[in-house]
Amino acid sequence: MNRAALILAVAGFALTACQQPAVAGEAVVAAPAPKRIAAEKPGLRTAVFAGGCFWGVEAVFSHMKGVTSAVSGYHGGTARSATYDLVSSGVTDHAEAVRVTYDPRVVRYDQLLQVFFSVVADPTLKNRQGPDVGAHYRAALVPLNDEQRTVASAYLKQMAASGKWKRPIVTGIERAQAFYPAETYHQDFAQKNPRHSYIVRWDAPKVRALKSMYPSLYKASFTPN
């Protein structure tokens, strides 16, 4: 891409970034209880979830018991282009994503999946979530070990057969690549900016849905990364 085209693409950031005004609501779905339970040994585990704007993904996981860290960042692509302006312009191969570290003695990977598809991401949308459009807002699972991969694959098949969604499931599993933490001002964004219009309209309802649908997994405090 030449310099002029790159400048124009980055200028389009204002039309594609998380700050987009709310235009329509998102419905929560009671995703099915996983049949394939994750068999995870004691010790902290990490997985990556892409589910649209990372502010909301991070907010939900940061309110879950057993999650010790949720870091917003960019999965895939290159280190050089892992910046918010470039990723939001749509000119890179990254996905906005969150790296979640959790204690399987408290919350298992399969439970993270159920919550993710219940209150965070619509698995029937391709290259978009909520008001945000573009491949960098795609929903994807990025398992980091064989057990996570097996559980994720089984759960996507179970979701497709469940009849919970009227449209086909298009969320897939992506090969783990480099994860680049996002800029500091994006970390713990929902906690630091509770009155931000995007948070109020799109992400606070996700946290409330977590509390309502999964009270045994919800905690009122926010776990900072």
CATH code, domain with 119: 3.30.1060.10
Residue 207 is inside which H or E element, if any? helix 204-213
Q: Which residue has the higher pLDDT, 167 or 4?
A: 167
Number of domains in the chain: 1
> Is the CA virtual torsion 78, 5, 50, 185 positive or negative?
positive
Q: Active-site positions?
A: 53
The domain of 176 spans 44-213
* 222 assigned to some structural domain: no
* 107 assigned to some structural domain: yes
Instruction: Identify the pLDDT of residue 120.
Output: 98
- Would the pLDDT of 14 be above 70? no
Instruction: Please tell me the distance from the alpha carbon of residue 57 to that of residue 120, in angstroms, as a whole number.
Output: 6
Instruction: Identify the pLDDT of residue 82.
Output: 95
Instruction: Please tell me the distance from the alpha carbon of residue 123 to that of residue 128, in angstroms, as a whole number.
Output: 10
